[in-house]
Amino acid sequence: MNDYRELLGYLAAGIGIIGYVPYFRDIFANKTKTHAFSWLVWAILTGIAFVIQVVEGAGPGAWVMGISTLACSCIFVLALFKGQKTFPLFDWVSLFAAFFSLLLWWITEDPTLSVILITVVDAVGYLPTFRKGFHKPYEETVTTYVLSTVKFIPAILALESYSIATWFYPASLLVMNGAFSLMLVIRRAYVRQTH
């Protein structure tokens, strides 16, 4: 029974690793201009979600969250040097809202409530990248977001324990990454037609 979950866990982790390769390549080629605020929030949140999943017995379904934590942390550091350098007020408000929500998460000791708060914080943390991607759709690597959408399908199926604490956050990432990917594709098509 666990064999198929381990296989799905490896598949999700592999897709995750492969998905970040083009993103790192594009950062170093100065094609992708990452937004440090979003990647900082994502690094913290995926780390928290990973710990919650491990504690709640998620098994191989948690592996992709661990890999994502490492990748988000590395991208955040790179963003400080190679990413966007100016941040409008909207981005600062989003960052502070995310940290305020993290404070609320820290106060709670309920894993389910924590995951719900993490999901809300993640959505708020996504706003600066979503805004930037809308205005500059060619400064993001679509492939990475598409594969980040796909990797959560086997990750969710690989979970050994299904509860809101284990599946809700990865499911929200599947939806948010998918929506962001779709928006980038639509915006790129629009920009090509209007230029």
pLDDT band at 195 (very low <50, low <70, confident <90, very high): confident
Judge whether residue 120 has pLDDT over 60. yes
- Using the predicted structure, report yes or no on whether residue 1 has a pLDDT greater than 70: no
Q: Measure the N-to-C terminal CA separation of the chain; round to a whole number of Å.
A: 54
Residues 30-76 have pLDDT tens digits of 998 887 878 888 888 888 889 889 988 999 999 999 999 999 999 99
Residue 98 pLDDT more than 70?
A: no
Most confident region among 28-37, 109-118, 176-185 by mean pLDDT: 176-185
pTM of structure: 0.84
Domain coverage including residue 93: 2-194
Q: pLDDT-based confidence at 101, cuts 50/70/90?
A: low
Question: pLDDT by residue (tens digit) across 3-15?
Answer: 899 999 999 999 9
- How does the average pLDDT of the chain come out, rounded? 88
Q: How much is the pLDDT for 11?
A: 96
Structural domain count, the chain: 1
